Amino acid sequence: MDFCNVRFLLSAHTNQQLPPPVYPEIAFAGRSNVGKSSLINRLVGRANLVKTSAKPGKTQSLNYFQVDDGCCLVDLPGYGFARVSRQIRQSWQGLISGYIETRPTLACVVVIIDLRHELKQLDRELIDWLRYLGKPLLPVYTKADKLSRNQQEKNAAALDAGLSLTSGERLLFSAQTGQGVDGLRQRLTAFVQAGRGVVQTAGLPATDPI
Ligand code: GTP
Ligand code: MG
């Protein structure tokens, strides 16, 4: 799949504004300011397809991008940002959790975690919840460029242990240097292919019981 053949589709502020569930969707989740939008820009090879910001809370809606004829990328609002009102926080959470729980075309949730820091409770909770729901997920440890190779491995091993992951189940990444981008494209292509099977099966007419 050519991730560089991409265009902005729409921004959804409510579940009613989501596009019809036609293409497998890859959603990008993570704490506010962790680098979700930057990761998408690097994935699609564009500096500014998605707006990024040094201030947390930039992405406040579900932003859809259409790739080829193949899939949609969905940039989710970040969680864990304290400086927005409780009401806004709750409505974001409702939007995101409703989307993840009910979206039939959701092929993978990429959970983006800052490689520099210790595991945060919210990240753990998100991954546990996705596992509980049985949703396909791909943890990506980002901002690797801020650490030496040695420190990258050490921190990644600590996050792996906290999340009960093997090193083959996650990726190290840097939006700055492009580290890990080829691996990310390969893994996401596989998720889309698996998701396409599910979408087609879901679309088949029900057979009569014998
Ligand atoms: P919200 O939409 O506010 O939740 O943020 P986000 O998760 O989309 O983060 P965004 O991509 O806007 O990046 C936040 C800040 O981190 C920006 O200043 C980016 O330049 C920086 N950043 C993101 N990824 C990387 C990375 O891999 N390396 C480095 N050094 N900086 C990064
Ligand atoms: Mg963002």
Measured in Å, residue 84 CA sits from the centre of ligand 2 at: 15
Closest CA to ligand 1's atom 18: 54
**pLDDT tens string 149-163:** 999 999 999 999 999
Rounded to the nearest angstrom, the distance between the alpha carbon of 36 and the centre of ligand 1 is 6
Q: pLDDT tier at 53 (50, 70, 90 boundaries)?
A: confident
- Spell out the residues 6+ positions from residue 136 whose beta carbon is closer than 8 angstroms to its own: 106, 107, 108, 109, 191, 194, 195
- Taking the C-alpha atoms of 142, 146, 148 and 152 in order, what is their torsion angle to the nearest 10 degrees? -20
Residue 145 Cβ contacting ligand 1 at under 6 Å: yes
Protein residue with least CA distance to atom 26, ligand 1: 143
Chain mean pLDDT for the chain: 88
Ligand 1 atom closest to Cα of residue 58: 3
Check: CB of residue 75 under 8 Å from CB of residue 25. no
- pLDDT over threshold 70, residue 205: no
Higher pLDDT, 138 or 87: 138
From edge to edge, which strands make up the β-sheet containing 6-12?
6-12, 62-67, 71-75, 25-30, 106-114, 137-142, 171-172
* Ligand 1 lined by 61 (C-beta under 6 Å): no
How long a stretch of residues is the chain? 210
**pLDDT at residue 86 greater than cutoff 70:** no
Tell me the percentage of the chain whose pLDDT exceeds 90. 68
Q: Name the residue of 11, 37, 38, 176 whose CB sits within 8 Å of the most ligand 1 atoms, as the mutation to test its pocket.
A: 38
